[in-house]
Structure 1
Amino acid sequence: MARTGEWGVRLYLFEEDGTTKARVVLDTGTTSLTGHGTAERSPEDVDVPEIGDELAAGRAMSDLAAQLKRIAYGDLEGVRASAAPRRTSSAEQAG
C-alpha cells in the first residue's frame, strides 16, 4: 500500500544577550507538536550567532524527536493491545 504525506515544520530562533532560543513546530495536519532548545554563549567565546542558532535548533529538534517517539511508542502499544486475541474465561465459555 503506497502512501504519501507531508508534514509542515517551522523553526523560530530568538537571540538576546548571548542566549539563543529555538522553537520548532511540527504540524501533521491532525496534531501540532512543539520542541524547544536553548544555547548560551560563554563570556569567553567569540560571538558567532550561527553557532548558537545551530545548537539551539538542534536541541529543539531533538526535543521534538523525543516527543514523536514517545507518541509513536504509545500508539504502537495501543494497537498491539487492541489486536491481541481476547482471552475468555471458563465461565464465559460455559455461559
Structure 2
Amino acid sequence: MSGATAGGGMAGSAPHTSEWQLRLTVTEDGDLTQAHAVLDTGTGLLQADAEARRSAHDPQDAAIGDELAVGRALLDLGHRLVHAGSVAAEAAESARRRDGE
C-alpha cells in the first residue's frame, strides 16, 4: 500500500475533510417536472438539468415525476463529476511527466 492508511491518506498525515453543498430545485408545470441540481464544491460549481414528463397513462402522483427528474439530474451530475475528476487526474499526470523530464 506504499504508506497509505486505511482512510486513503498517507501514514502520519492529517485527514482532509471538506463539505460540499447540493441544491436541488424541482418545478412542476402540468405534466412536466424539471429538476435543476447545483453542486458547490467550495472551489467550483457543477450543474445539471433533467426532466420527467407524465404520459396520459401514468398516475397523477407528483412524487413520481419529482423522483424521476431529480434522479436523472443527479445521474447527470455524477457523470459530470466523474468526468471532471478524470480530466483533472489526466492533467496532473501530464504535468508530472512533463516536469519529470
Q: Shorter-chain TM-score category?
A: 0.7 to 0.9
Partners of 2:54 and 2:33 lie apart in 1 by: 8
Of 49, 62, 68, 2:62 maps to: 49
TM-score w.r.t. the length of structure 2 is 0.81
Q: Unmatched 5+ residue regions in structure 2? A: 1-12
Query: What is the CA-CA distance between 1:82 and the residue it aligns to?
Result: 1.1
Partners of 1:35 and 1:28 lie apart in 2 by: 14
Task: After the TM superposition, list the runs of 4 or more consecutive aligned residues in structure 1 that deviate by more than 4 angstroms.
Answer: none
Q: Unmatched 5+ residue regions in structure 1? A: 87-95
Q: Which residue of 1 aligns with 2:34?
A: 21
Query: What is the CA-CA distance between 1:74 and the residue it aligns to?
Result: 0.5
| Structure having the higher Rg | 1
**How many aligned residue pairs are there?**
86
Q: Percentage identity across aligned positions?
A: 37
Query: What is the CA-CA distance between 1:55 and the residue it aligns to?
Result: 0.3
Partners of 1:65 and 1:77 lie apart in 2 by: 18
Partners of 1:79 and 1:58 lie apart in 2 by: 31
Query: What is the CA-CA distance between 1:7 and the residue it aligns to?
Result: 0.3
Of 4, 10, 23, 1:10 maps to: 23
Give the aligned CA root-mean-square deviation in angstroms: 0.9
Partners of 2:88 and 2:77 lie apart in 1 by: 17
Write out aligned runs for 1:13-92 (5 A).
Answer: 13-84=26-97, 85-86=100-101
TM-score w.r.t. the length of structure 1 is 0.86
